[in-house]
């Protein structure tokens, strides 16, 4: 996994691309290089070496015919199978998935995308045709940000990289307003900044003669609809095999691989599936975070799960006094609002893994969305936040002139079934896009790669397409996953309810970090978006004990830090 960047247009030059690469060098500390045609195109790459550690696999990667130049971020997990399919026509000089991607594109064009099982964001320059092609994986695991003013096209793996190239930092009022009002993080192509866009997951773009075109290549809705009336003879066995295959593919690496662990069903199932792999388990390490608060920490569950297993456990502690410094560091790294103290605690895992030389970590992200694990799937609410009973949004603190432009965020409903539409919303608009962004940044901040086996597209499509009683049965959520997990896990873990809160964010923000919170929010009183008096009243209420939700407090802290 790496960082990619580039410029097409008059501003394409060595100085600009080197500045961009320097800004995101944490994404690829192993090697940095660029390709440059002055004032026409420049492509840059920060390499984190995972597969084929030799210099032969460095990027930008030039095709054998010398016509194509590739910069690639991510992993093509099924590269060995694709290589076997291509090797009768192409001579491979490396053992990398990068070269497989290049030759797959030369062979199949945009059709190569449907053959890839992986997480990826890449760009290819076709010199003869002066054609630029870029694509992003199905769920948008790997990022692709761009700016285009009809003269120059800039792209990068992180927003701050674009700012370093001189792209203006102008707030997108619409996205910020909806964030404060209903918790939306924007549509798949939007960011929190004007004129800085995302290439949506499952889409590709082409740029030729200053004409930019964006097309969808992953048609999830159609694929799921075709599966709806298709049933495997033994579904439990079929899905178990899909899970095992997904884990197996994500253990492909030429560097140490570890995994993240909590006390819940998802990560415990991940652990059980790792147990089934034919690998040297004594070299695989586990990581978990704690805050030393028994109301939230899951260490007792984690230790129970690892009992009589060979994996070394690394316990990564977050202390409240660390939060102010880390919060600002991660805010600058994310360049957009992120998920609070749980994300900060999560970042400690990647820092520890990096220090230990573990470059790849597996995680249980994505299970709840496909298998219907959130509480609001049962109570049929339209919430986008798990475990709340009151609204976390305080629109009364917004200036009237700002708030009058609010328009509720609506999400597509391509299915007749309400549950499927909620799951679809979370997969493509709310939960997964923002979690993937949080996770990409905090992992890459420390030069580590995160892989999410539960987001394997074949697995997600099949599970998503199953009837409701496959996912929720007799009030039990993620029913089939629990049934599969029973083969491998202790019953008390399989039956454990989902625990939505993992850190004492409310307690820390209202007590331990009270002075810091007040000083950060003071900054917003000079922001025209807010009503100073209402902002202070809500903050006082929070400090006095009205802290069932701390989401709004974190929103304000995050906003203040992003405008510093």
DSSP letters for 376-414: HHHHT---SSTT-SS----GGGB-HHHHTT---------
Query: Is 395 a residue whose pLDDT tops 70?
Result: yes
Please report the pLDDT score of residue 232 as a whole number: 83
Domain borders along the chain are 2-218, 221-387+407-494, 505-562
For the chain, what is the mean pLDDT?
Answer: 93
Least confident of 135-139, 472-476, 514-518: 472-476
Stretch 3-13: mean pLDDT: 97
Check whether 97 is labelled as a binding-site residue: yes
* Spatial separation of the C-alpha atoms in residues 70 and 53, rounded to whole Å: 17
CA distance 76 to 154: 25
Helix, strand, or coil here: 30? Answer: coil
Q: What is d(CA 23, CA 4) in angstroms, rounded to the nearest whole number?
A: 11
Show the 3-state SS of 78-112. CHHHHHHHHCCCCCCCCCCHHHHHHHHHHHHHHHH
Provide the 3-class DSSP secondary structure of residue 295. Answer: coil
Residue-level pLDDT at 388: 55
Span of 11-20, 121-130, 403-412 with lowest mean pLDDT: 403-412
Residue 171 has pLDDT above 70, yes or no: yes
Q: Is the pLDDT of residue 38 over 90?
A: yes
Q: What percent of the chain has pLDDT over 70?
A: 96
Residue 375's pLDDT is what?
85
pLDDT at 390: 66
pLDDT digits (tens, 9 = 90+) for 249-293: 999 999 999 999 988 888 889 999 999 999 999 899 999 999 999
> What is the signed CA dihedral for 439, 445, 446, 447, rounded to 10 degrees?
90
Q: What is the mean pLDDT of residues 395-408?
A: 95
Burial class (CB in 10 A: 0-12, 13-18, 19+), 7: buried
pLDDT score recorded for residue 304: 87
Question: What is the rounded CA–CA span in Å between residue 297 and residue 282?
Answer: 26
Exposed/middle/buried for 82, CB within 10 Å: 0-12, 13-18, 19+? buried
Fold of 221-387+407-494: Rossmann fold (3.40.50)
Residues recognised as catalytic: 2
pTM: 0.95
The answer, yes or no, to whether residue 133 has pLDDT greater than 90, is: yes
Confidence of residue 87 (pLDDT cuts 50, 70, 90): very high
Average pLDDT of the segment spanning 95-111:
98
Q: In whole angstroms, what is the distance from residue 510 CA to residue 549 CA?
A: 11
Of 555, 183, 551, nearest to 384 by C-alpha is 183
| Average pLDDT score over residue span 505-516 | 96
pLDDT in tens, 211-260: 999 999 999 999 999 998 888 889 999 999 999 999 999 999 999 999 99
pLDDT of residue 487: 82
Among the four given CATH numbers 2.102.10.10, 3.40.50.720, 3.30.830.10, 3.60.20.10, the one describing domain 2-218: 3.60.20.10
DSSP string, 144-163: -EEEE-SS-EEEESSHHHHH
Q: Name every residue whose Cβ is closer than 8 Å to that of residue 102 and which is 6 or more positions away in sequence.
A: 61, 63, 68, 70, 124
pLDDT digits (tens, 9 = 90+) for 428-457: 999 999 999 999 999 999 999 999 999 999
pLDDT band at 382 (very low <50, low <70, confident <90, very high): low
Distance CA 442, CA 354 (A): 12
Distance CA 4, CA 535 (A): 40
Spatial separation of the C-alpha atoms in residues 491 and 372, rounded to whole Å: 20
**Cβ-proximal residues to 259 (8 Å cutoff; 6+ apart), any chain:** 267, 270, 271, 274, 284, 286, 287, 361, 362, 363
Write down the pLDDT at residue 562.
97
Map residue 327 onto helix, strand or coil. helix
Q: Are 301 and 286 in contact (CB under 8 A)?
A: no
Among candidates 426, 395, 329, which has minimal Cα distance to 538?
395
Q: How far is C-alpha 454 from the chain's CA centre?
A: 13
524-547 per-position pLDDT tens digit: 999 999 999 999 999 999 999 887
Query: Residue 389: is its pLDDT beyond 90?
Result: no
Which residues have C-beta within 8 Å of that of residue 67, sequence separation ≥ 6?
A: 126, 127, 128
Instruction: Report H helices in 400-531.
Output: 400-403, 418-428, 431-444, 457-464, 468-471, 479-485, 491-494, 505-507, 514-522
Calpha distance 59→71 (Å, rounded): 6
Alpha helices in 196-322 (DSSP H): 220-227, 235-250, 265-275, 299-306
β-sheet with 360-362: strand ranges across: 312-317, 285-290, 257-260, 360-362, 449-451
Confidence at 170, pLDDT banded by 50, 70, 90:
very high
Length of the chain: 564
Whether pLDDT at 82 is above 80: yes
Is the pLDDT at 464 greater than 60? The verdict is yes
Question: Which pLDDT score is estimated for 322?
Answer: 98
Percent of the chain with pLDDT over 90: 83
Chain-centroid distance of CA 446 in Å reads 15
């Amino acid at each position: 996994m790496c960082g990619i960047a580039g410029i097409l247009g008059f501003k394409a030059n060595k100085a600009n691309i080197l500045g961009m690469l320097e800004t995101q060098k944490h994404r690829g500390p192993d090697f940095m290089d660029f390709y440059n045609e002055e004032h026409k195109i420049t492509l840059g790459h920060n390499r984190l070496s995972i597969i084929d550690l030799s210099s032969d696999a460095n990027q930008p990667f030039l095709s054998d015919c010398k016509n194509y130049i590739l910069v690639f971020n991510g992993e093509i997990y099924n590269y060995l199978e694709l290589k076997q399919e291509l090797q009768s026509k192409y001579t491979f000089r490396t053992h990398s998935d990068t070269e497989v991607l290049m030759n797959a594109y030369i062979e199949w064009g945009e059709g190569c995308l449907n053959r890839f099982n992986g997480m990826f964001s890449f760009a290819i320059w076709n010199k003869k045709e002066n054609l630029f092609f870029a694509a992003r994986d199905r769920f948008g695991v790997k990022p692709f940000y761009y700016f285009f003013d009809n003269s120059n096209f800039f792209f990068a793996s992180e927003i701050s990289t674009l700012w370093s190239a001189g792209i203006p930092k102008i707030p997108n009022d619409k996205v910020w307003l909806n964030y404060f009002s209903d918790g939306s993080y924007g549509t798949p192509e939007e960011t929190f900044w004007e004129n800085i866009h995302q290439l949506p997951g499952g889409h590709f773009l082409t740029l030729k003669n200053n004409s930019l075109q964006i097309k969808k290549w992953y048609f999830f809705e159609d694929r799921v609809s075709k599966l709806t009336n298709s049933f495997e003879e033994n579904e439990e066995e079929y899905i178990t095999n899909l899970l095992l295959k997904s884990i197996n593919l994500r253990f492909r690496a030429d560097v140490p691989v570890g995994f993240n662990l909590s006390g819940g069903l998802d990560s415990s199932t991940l652990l059980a599936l790792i147990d089934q792999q034919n690998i040297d388990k004594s070299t695989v390490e586990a990581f978990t975070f704690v805050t030393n608060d028994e109301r939230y920490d899951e260490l007792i569950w984690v230790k129970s799960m690892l009992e009589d297993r060979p994996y070394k456990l690394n316990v990564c502690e977050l202390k409240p006094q660390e939060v102010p410094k880390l919060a600002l560091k991660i805010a600058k790294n994310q360049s957009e609002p992120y998920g609070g103290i749980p994300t900060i605690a999560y970042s400690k895992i990647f820092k520890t893994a990096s220090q230990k030389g573990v470059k790849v970590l597996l995680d249980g992200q994505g299970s709840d969305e496909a298998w219907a694990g959130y509480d609001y799937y049962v109570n049929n609410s339209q919430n986008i936040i798990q475990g709340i009973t009151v609204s976390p949004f305080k629109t009364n603190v917004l200036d009237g002139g700002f708030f009058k432009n609010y328009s509720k965020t609506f999400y597509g409903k391509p299915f007749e079934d309400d549950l499927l539409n909620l799951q679809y919303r979370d997969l493509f608009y709310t939960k997964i896009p923002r979690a993937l962004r949080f996770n990409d940044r905090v992992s890459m901040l420390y030069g580590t790669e995160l892989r999410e086996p539960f987001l394997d597209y074949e697995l997600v499509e099949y599970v998503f397409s199953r009837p409701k009683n496959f996912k929720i049965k007799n009030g039990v959520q993620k029913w089939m996953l629990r049934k599969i997990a029973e083969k491998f896990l202790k019953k008390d873990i399989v039956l454990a309810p989902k625990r939505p809160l993992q850190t004492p964010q409310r307690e820390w923000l209202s007590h331990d970090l009270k002075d810091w919170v007040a000083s950060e929010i003071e900054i917003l009183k000079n922001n025209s978006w807010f009503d100073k008096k209402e902002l202070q009243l809500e903050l006082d209420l929070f400090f006095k004990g009205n802290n069932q939700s701390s989401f709004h407090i974190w929103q304000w802290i995050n906003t203040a830090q992003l405008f510093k």
